[in-house]
Amino acid sequence: MTTRAILIAAAAALALSPPLTAGMAGAAKAESQAQMIQQFAELAGQPASAERGHAFFLASHAGGHPDTPSCSTCHTKDPRNQGQTRAGKTIAPMAVSQSPDRFTDPKKVAKWFRRNCNTVLGRACTPGEKADIIAYFASL
């Protein structure tokens, strides 16, 4: 399956599924993060891996903007800490332990993966990469 076909399938699956945060509050948020990981993992055809997500997060990638070769360029090497955009804006920690609402809003997740993957990679992230990254942040 081509990357384009995978991305179309991922977008369709997320668009057709009910909002993951509907009716959830407090501790139930973690369930929605798990559901989001599961959706991306199913689209990828493999289980999510926090270890792969960690390696991907720290790796230098080619194809994107030269001043943002890695996710950690803006988000820091420790996702439990605040990051900073190239424009100087503060980014809340990516780790779910520090920002419990992370990865609970499918629209925000789609928006930020679209922006950040294009900036760092010069392409969209695959569903497997998304599952792995969210699994990594949820493990912290």
H runs (alpha helix) in 61-126: 72-75, 106-121
Is pTM, for the whole model, over 0.95? Answer: no
Residue 91 belongs to what H/E stretch? strand 90-91
Give yes or no for residue 123 having a pLDDT over 50.
Answer: yes
Domain tally, the chain: 1
CA angle (62, 86, 126) in 5-degree steps: 40
Of 62, 59, 33, the closest CA to residue 140 belongs to 33
- Scan for tokens 């179309």, then name that residue: 8
Q: In angstroms, rounded to a whole number, what is the distance separating the alpha carbons of residues 40 and 17?
A: 12
Q: How far is CA 6 from CA 18, 52, 55, 56, in A?
A: 20, 19, 22, 19
3-class secondary structure, 71:
coil
Q: In angstroms, rounded to a whole number, what is the distance separating the alpha carbons of residues 40 and 20?
A: 13
Q: What is the CATH number of the domain that holds 66?
A: 1.10.760.10
Q: In angstroms, rounded to a whole number, what is the distance separating the alpha carbons of residues 138 and 94?
A: 9
Mean pLDDT, range 87-99, rounded to an integer = 95
pLDDT in tens, 44-87: 999 999 999 999 999 999 998 888 899 999 999 999 999 999 89
Residue 130 domain boundaries = 3-20+28-139
